């Protein structure tokens, strides 16, 4: 059996009881380590599980999945995923490859950012399509996600923006020269995401949907003891410091409830300005 085991969002103790039992008896244990990261290192997992854990990077999962699936028709193999196993389409691909080899598959769900974002007080029913924001380059500012944000805005829904993670990435030069040299890990912050969102808005100008005065919520390390949230305008969040990764951002839609405002003002950069913008542009609109 191939088991896809969700680890939750924070540390080694977020794994479910069912998931832990599977990990302890599996012949091999892999940790997917590029769509998201836990707030503890591999050693903490191995100490808690009492098992060695092999780190599976993007290349391993996408190009060498046969190594992961080897013998999984005869023994149990556990593939550990931060959050929930199906939070990334890559893992759907792994399941399809297992099916082609007649390997049975079982998924053990866990908490993900898609549900944990409810801790902001924003109603999950009022979220639209989730999008991803990648690091911009001087000559490359992909904005394919923007149409989905506009669709969410058109019906008043919030947008959860997942922020870019660069782990075991090569520079173009090293890739072209075939050198196995990797760049240091990078994790996008709420401030960087807010700045890039406003860059996109500047580019689309008259067709834009958010401004520096639009409300947003930044979150960091959701599910951990030191999780942090901050609410304010996009302009204010350009200067927010939420500490270490992982970060996410929510762009507020107009379909709001006053309970959401009451919940969020606890985390406002400035309560007076937050409430003023809310009452002007968000309160009772939808």
Strands 228-233 and 215-220: antiparallel
Quick: pLDDT tens for 64-99: 788 899 999 999 999 999 999 988 666 888 899 999
Rounded to two decimals, the pTM is: 0.90
Binding residue numbers? 9, 84, 87, 112-113, 163, 222, 247
Q: Are residues 167 and 249 in the same domain?
A: yes
Q: Are residues 212 and 256 in the same domain?
A: yes
221-248 average pLDDT score:
96
Binding residue numbers for S-adenosyl-L-methionine? 9, 84, 87, 112-113, 163, 222, 247
Contact 183, 166 (CB under 8 A): yes
Structure confidence at residue 210 (pLDDT): 95
Q: State the CATH number of the domain containing residue 173.
A: 3.30.950.10
Of residues 187, 220, 25, 223, the one with CA closest to residue 110: 223
For the cut 90, the answer to whether the pLDDT of residue 11 exceeds it is yes
Q: Are residues 271 and 153 in the same domain?
A: yes
Burial 207-243 (b: 16+ CB within 10 A, else e): ebbbeeebbbbbbbbbbbeebbbbbbbbbbbbebebe
Q: Are residues 119 and 107 in the same domain?
A: no
Domain that holds residue 228: 114-282
Given 78, 96, 111, which residue is the final one in a domain? 111
Of residues 243, 257, 281, 10, the one with CA closest to residue 122: 257
Name the more confident of 127 and 59: 127
Of residues 158, 186, 128, the one with CA closest to residue 249: 158
Of residues 275, 250, 276, 248, the one with CA closest to residue 261: 275
Eight-state DSSP code of residue 255:
-
For the cut 80, the answer to whether the pLDDT of residue 110 exceeds it is yes
Name the more confident of 89 and 123: 123
Q: Are residues 42 and 74 in the same domain?
A: yes
Q: How many C-beta neighbours within 10 Å does residue 259 have?
A: 11
Quick: pLDDT tens for 139-175: 888 888 999 999 999 999 999 999 998 876 655 666 6
Structure confidence at residue 286 (pLDDT): 45
Structure confidence at residue 173 (pLDDT): 64
For the cut 60, the answer to whether the pLDDT of residue 195 exceeds it is yes
Q: Are residues 129 and 261 in the same domain?
A: yes
Q: How many C-beta neighbours within 10 Å does residue 3 have?
A: 23
Structure confidence at residue 208 (pLDDT): 82
Given 111, 144, 165, which residue is the final one in a domain? 111
DSSP bridge partners of 247: 220
Structure confidence at residue 170 (pLDDT): 55
């Amino acid at each position: 059996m191939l088991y896809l085991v969700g680890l939750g969002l924070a540390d080694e103790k977020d794994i479910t009881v069912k998931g832990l039992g599977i990990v302890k008896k599996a012949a091999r244990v892999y940790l997917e380590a590029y769509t998201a990261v836990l707030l503890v290192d591999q050693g903490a997992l191995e100490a808690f599980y009492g098992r060695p854990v092999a780190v599976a990077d993007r290349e391993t999962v996408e190009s060498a999945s046969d190594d992961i699936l080897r013998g999984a028709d005869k023994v149990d193999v556990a593939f550990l995923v931060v959050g929930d196993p199906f939070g990334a389409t890559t893992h759907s691909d792994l399941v399809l490859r297992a099916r082609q080899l007649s390997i049975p598959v079982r998924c053990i769900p866990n908490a993900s950012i898609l549900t944990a974002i409810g801790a902001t007080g924003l109603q999950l029913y009022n979220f639209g399509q989730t999008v991803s924001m990648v690091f911009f380059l001087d000559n490359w500012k992909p904005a394919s996600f923007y149409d989905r944000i506009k669709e969410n805005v058109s019906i008043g829904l919030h947008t959860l923006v997942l922020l870019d993670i660069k782990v075991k990435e090569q520079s173009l030069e090293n890739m072209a020269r075939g050198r196995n040299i990797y760049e240091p890990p990078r994790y996008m912050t709420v401030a960087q995401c807010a700045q890039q969102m406003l860059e996109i808005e500047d580019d689309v100008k008259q067709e834009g949907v958010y401004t520096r005065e639009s409300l947003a919520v930044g979150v960091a390390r959701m599910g951990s003891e030191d999780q942090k949230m901050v609410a304010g305008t996009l302009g204010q969040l350009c200067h927010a410091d939420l500490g270490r990764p992982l970060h996410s951002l929510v762009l507020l839609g107009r379909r709001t409830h006053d309970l959401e405002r009451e919940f969020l003002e606890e985390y406002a950069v400035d309560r007076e300005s937050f409430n003023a913008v809310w009452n002007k542009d968000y309160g009772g609109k939808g």
